[in-house]
Amino acid sequence: MQELDGKESYHFDDDAERVAKALNCTVLLPNHNQLFLDIDGLAELDEFERRLEQLELDAMPDRAVDFKYTKEVLRSRNGNYHVILTFDNLSFSEDERILWQAVLGSDIIREYLNFKRLIWGITNPSRLFRPKEESNGLPLF
């Protein structure tokens, strides 16, 4: 259970839209070709960049995976970072998305909770809460 601005508690699988509204946020859901990472600081952001670069180097010689993507780095509500990767020619199932997010350095607790939501059959286990004034053209929950 977590506190919602000190007013009420919720469980990680409760209605995300209700929780986001209480926090003056919207819930962003990834498209089939997107990864959403929650990065907890500058050192972790540097590690993410290192891992992404290594994946590109590993994949590029034989072109087994073509890493054509756009990257958007946003500040999170708590001052950390949200990274949205949008790939031109890759698509992810929910379990693949969670795995790639974890491998690239997304907060491990977040990815653990995403995996629990997936196992429990909760639709759209990967999500980001963003301030209401932002939508970035992504689907809202």
The confidence score (pLDDT) of residue 2 equals 41
The confidence score (pLDDT) of residue 139 equals 44
- One digit per residue, the tens of pLDDT, for the chain of length 141 reads 344 444 444 455 557 777 777 778 788 899 999 999 999 999 999 999 999 998 887 765 555 566 789 999 998 877 889 999 999 988 999 999 999 999 999 999 999 999 999 999 988 999 888 887 665 545 443
The confidence score (pLDDT) of residue 66 equals 65
The domain locations on the chain are 32-126
The confidence score (pLDDT) of residue 85 equals 96
Note if the pTM is more than 0.75: yes
Fold of the 32-126 domain: Alpha-Beta Plaits (3.30.70)
The confidence score (pLDDT) of residue 134 equals 60
CA pair distance 52, 44, nearest whole angstrom = 12
The confidence score (pLDDT) of residue 21 equals 78
**Separation in Å, CA 51 to CA 24, 34, 45, 82, 105:** 33, 17, 10, 16, 8
The confidence score (pLDDT) of residue 62 equals 55
The confidence score (pLDDT) of residue 132 equals 76
The confidence score (pLDDT) of residue 49 equals 96
Buried b (16+ CB within 10 A) or exposed e, 58-73: eeeeeeeeebebeeee
Neighbours of 34 (CB within 10 A): 22
